[in-house]
Each structure stands twice: as structure tokens, then as C-alpha cells.
């Protein structure tokens, strides 16, 4: 690929990568869902201060083993000082989409711009967008224009843009075998769509193109098949082939073991990916310790199981590829 990157985008991508150029990043930009997870074990909604403390403790622990951390502006900014010198990505979207309708309309976080996020210390910008080609055309055009504006902001401020497109079920609840069979087509379509230069995306943060619980023989197989193992691997390859951009995988809230199996499945499929932005799979099991025993309980969990989760993840990432293999850095522009 001969696409040129500007100096600022190169610097940002280097800041969130390890020495090999692999993006081995942790994701901790969850907001409403994190509060709900803590509340489940706490018995009441946590305060904003408690939510921020959780992010500070997790950031301090995980960035000792990660190349970067993804945070939010609502509760995560104080955690930036605990990033152990690693790069920080900041999320631009509001925690939830516009809930006035079923179309998952994206919303900016009020009071922020790419310039302001960069001034805050962000090395890269992350944006999330729900997308399905089966949605009403008018809705999808609105989403495309929204993303185009963000891409233009990132170009103007010379900072890399990570895009997290997520599939959803226009026809149902996204849980059954019918949706499992449609999901690969949705994911592959939006990978190709958002790789177009008009959007200004530098790295794609992707979910697996299939639902692993519908693949026979996997550890998470739930008993109903949507694809054979061969078909599932073919979808991994087809999705990867839909872009020339570097891409990383997200964990989508599954357990640590399930995420590791997904990554191994991608590697077995022959997919060359460029790292991870791993969220809940890494740290969610530490929430009960935090809710019941406070900071000390979480610190103890992070020093044991949390560190083990990162060790296993980094072992798999030894086979990931550097992001810069997708760009001609010798032609980078100032």
C-alpha cells in the first residue's frame, strides 16, 4: 500500500504502539455500562469519583503491560496521569447513541472537539459508530456525513483516527442464529465502506465478523450452529481482505478466555491483524473485588489475575503484525 501518512499521524500511531509497531492497547472508555457493572456488585450506583478511581487503578496496572490506553473525557481524564508514559487515546463519541429512535444515531461528547482532545494529551482519537447496510438509506447517509466531518477534523489537527464500527440487527435483537448468519455480511460491508479515503480513518477497531458461540467446536459454542468452522474462518479472511488499512480486534465484552480464543481463531484463519484494543475481557472480573473491597481489593486482583490476563494476551500478540506494514513511511509528508 502506498498511502502516505503525515508526520503527526505517524507520531500518534507510534505513541500507541509497542517497539515492533503492534498496537497492544487496553480499552477503558466505558461509561454507563461500567457504572452498571460496578452497581451490580456494589448494590447501588457508584459515584463519579468511584468510577474515576476504578479507571485510575486499572490504567496504572494495565499500562505496565500494554502499549496504550483508551479513555473517555467523562470519567477517564484523571487516569491519564497514571498511564506510565504510554500513549493515550481519547474517545470522541458520547457514551450512548441518540435513543430517540432505533437507528443508533451517533452523538459527540458535548464540549469537545478533536483540537481539544489533542490539547488534552490524546495521541489518537477513537470514534464509535453503529452501522448496518440494511438500515434506512437516509440514516446511513447521516452517519457517513458525521464520520466524514470527524475524519476532516483529524486531518486538520494531524492526529490519527481509530474507527470502531459495530454491527447491529435491523430486524431483531441481534442474539439469534438468523442475525448470526447476517452479521458477517454486515461487518465485511462496513469494513470496505469505511476504508474509503473520504472518511480519513487510519486504523480500524473491529469486532469479529462472526459470533463465536455459533461455531461448533469452540469453547463458547452454545449448541446451535450458524456456520461451520471452515465457513467461519473464511469470513475472517474475507473481512480482513475488505480493507488495506491496519486493523485491531476489540473484545466486545466477552470473557478473557473467549477473546483469546477469538484471536487464535483469527490467526488459524490466516488473518494478519495489527493488535488489539482490549476492554472488558481484560479487567471486568476485577469489578467484584473493587465493589466489595475497594481500591485494595482491585489492586490485588490486578496484580494477580489482571497481570495474567495481559501476559496471555501479549503472548498471542507476538504473532500480530506492525501497523506500519500498511503504509509507506518513507513517503510520509510533513
pLDDT tens, residue by residue, 227-260: 999 999 999 999 999 999 999 999 988 999 999 9
pLDDT, average across residues 203-224: 96
**Residue 99 banded pLDDT, cuts 50, 70, 90:** low
Whether 2 maps to a domain, the answer reads no
- pLDDT higher than 50, residue 332: no
pLDDT computed for residue 73 by the predictor: 97
pLDDT, average across residues 67-75: 97
What DSSP element (H or E) covers 161?
Answer: strand 161-166
Q: Helix 48-62 vs helix 32-42: angle between axes, to the nearest 10 degrees? A: 100
Whether 147 maps to a domain, the answer reads yes
Q: Which residue has the cell 500500500?
A: 1
Whether 139 maps to a domain, the answer reads yes
What predicted TM-score, i.e. pTM, was given to this entire model? 0.95
- C-alpha to C-alpha distance for 309 and 304, rounded to whole angstroms: 9
**Residue 98 banded pLDDT, cuts 50, 70, 90:** low
Query: Residue 254 to residues 208, 258, 262, 309: CA-CA distances in angstroms?
Result: 11, 6, 10, 13
Whether 195 maps to a domain, the answer reads yes
Range of the domain at 121: 7-331
pLDDT computed for residue 255 by the predictor: 92
pLDDT computed for residue 202 by the predictor: 98
pLDDT computed for residue 334 by the predictor: 46
Please count the structural domains in the chain. Answer: 1
Whether 1 maps to a domain, the answer reads no
- C-alpha to C-alpha distance for 166 and 121, rounded to whole angstroms: 26
Whichever domain contains 75, its CATH number is 3.20.20.70
Reported as a single tens digit per residue, the pLDDT across 271-318 is 999 999 999 999 999 999 999 999 999 999 999 999 999 999 999 999
pLDDT computed for residue 95 by the predictor: 77
Question: Average pLDDT over the chain, rounded to whole?
Answer: 95
- pLDDT higher than 70, residue 30: yes
Whether 172 maps to a domain, the answer reads yes
Whether 82 maps to a domain, the answer reads yes
pLDDT computed for residue 57 by the predictor: 98
pLDDT, average across residues 99-118: 90
- pLDDT higher than 70, residue 1: no
Whether 320 maps to a domain, the answer reads yes
Amino acid at each position: 500500500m502506498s498511502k502516505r501518512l503525515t508526520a503527526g499521524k505517524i507520531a500518534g500511531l507510534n505513541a500507541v504502539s509497542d517497539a515492533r509497531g503492534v498496537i497492544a492497547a487496553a480499552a477503558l472508555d466505558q461509561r454507563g455500562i461500567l457504572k452498571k457493572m460496578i452497581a451490580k456488585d456494589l448494590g447501588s450506583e457508584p459515584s463519579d469519583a468511584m468510577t474515576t478511581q476504578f479507571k485510575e487503578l486499572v490504567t496504572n496496572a494495565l499500562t505496565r503491560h500494554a502499549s496504550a490506553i483508551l479513555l473517555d473525557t467523562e470519567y477517564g481524564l484523571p487516569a491519564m496521569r497514571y498511564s506510565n508514559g504510554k500513549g493515550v487515546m481519547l474517545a470522541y463519541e458520547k457514551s450512548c447513541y441518540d435513543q430517540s429512535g432505533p437507528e443508533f444515531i451517533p452523538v459527540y461528547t458535548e464540549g469537545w472537539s478533536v483540537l481539544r482532545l489533542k490539547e488534552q494529551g490524546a495521541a489518537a482519537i477513537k470514534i464509535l459508530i453503529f452501522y448496518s447496510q440494511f438500515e434506512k438509506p437516509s440514516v446511513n447517509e447521516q452517519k457517513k456525513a458525521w464520520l466524514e466531518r470527524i475524519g476532516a477534523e483529524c486531518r486538520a489537527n494531524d492526529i490519527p483516527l481509530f474507527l470502531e464500527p459495530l454491527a447491529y440487527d435491523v430486524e431483531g435483537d441481534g442474539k439469534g442464529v438468523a442475525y448470526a448468519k447476517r452479521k458477517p455480511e454486515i461487518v465485511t460491508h462496513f469494513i470496505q465502506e469505511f476504508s474509503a479515503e473520504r472518511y480519513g480513518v487510519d486504523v480500524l477497531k473491529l469486532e469479529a465478523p462472526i459470533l463465536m458461540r455459533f461455531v461448533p467446536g469452540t469453547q463458547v459454542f452454545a449448541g446451535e450452529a450458524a456456520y461451520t468452522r471452515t465457513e467461519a474462518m473464511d469470513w475472517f479472511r474475507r473481512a480482513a481482505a475488505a480493507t488495506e488499512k491496519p486493523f485491531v480486534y476489540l473484545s466486545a465484552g466477552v470473557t478473557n478466555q473467549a477473546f483469546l480464543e477469538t484471536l487464535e481463531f483469527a490467526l488459524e484463519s490466516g488473518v494478519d491483524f495489527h493488535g488489539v484494543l482490549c476492554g472488558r475481557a481484560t479487567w471486568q472480573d476485577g469489578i467484584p473485588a473493587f465493589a466489595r473491597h475497594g481500591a485494595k481489593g482491585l489492586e490485588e486482583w490486578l496484580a494477580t489475575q489482571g497481570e495474567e490476563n495481559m501476559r496471555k494476551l501479549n503472548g498471542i500478540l507476538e504473532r500480530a503484525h506492525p501497523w506500519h506494514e500498511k503504509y509507506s513511511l518513507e513517503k510520509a509528508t510533513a
